[in-house]
Amino acid sequence: MNRFYEMNRIDVRFKELRARREKAFIVYLTAGYPDLSTTKKLILEMAKIGVDIIELGVPFSDPLADGPIIQQSSQEALKKGVSLAGILNLARAIRMDSDIPLVLMSYYNPINAYGLKRFVRDAKRSGIDGLIVPDLPPEEGRNLKKEMERAGLDLIFLAAPTSTFKRIRKIADASRGFIYYVSLTGVTGVRKKVPPGIKEGISRIRRYTDKPICIGFGISNPAQVKLMRGFGDGLIVGSAIIQVMERNQGKRLIPETIAFVEKLLKACKKDG
């Protein structure tokens, strides 16, 4: 382990969850959709009801891994001028009221444009705990990984059903915080059925690591959450939540979204 590295909020949360034999429930939100103020209110409400980790998506003009629901929310945020700097300011404001672990999900371009060292410094100061960069493979992420480890921040890599054993080993070695297992080939989005082979995919990763493995892409309702909670260490839901937000604009957005998240959260926990 890098001598600069220390446990952060993500690591502490998984340690607590494992002690309770519970799975992590992680919510993805597009930062700034429908606006930054609403994003903050949602995160604080989700922290109150027991969501374990928030994944904050940085809006990007060409989000290759995102399906139409997240793409649309990203475009709406970009139209309102939401930027990486603005999202870091949002994180800083959240930290005044909550200690919930915060993970940024950003494509590499905005980070590179911001400047790697400057980004990591500002992310640390803002209270960010981890980072997911879906278009950055471990082989090309050494410089960013080094800066992240120096700051005590987790760089989280993605593994997929198509990942070879050689690649899984690299991902397992490089990831900190948790490993993001993409449950299906393709983009994010709401799915009617749970993809086959998830249990086997997790088992393949388990050959190389005991780090937490969290499953994302396509988890859409409480029944799917309950079905999949036994496969890994946590579940990530994004598109289904943003879809509820789209359907409930205005005053109903926050209460309806929180009500839906509460159902997913209950299904994720052992007494759900």
Set 11, 22, 66, 147: catalytic member = 66
Q: Is 55 a catalytic residue?
A: yes
Q: Is 35 a catalytic residue?
A: no
> 196-234 as b/e, with b when 16 or more CB fall inside 10 Å?
eebeebbebbeebeebbbbbbbbbbbbebbbebbebbbb
Set 22, 52, 55, 233: catalytic member = 55
Catalytic residues: 55, 66
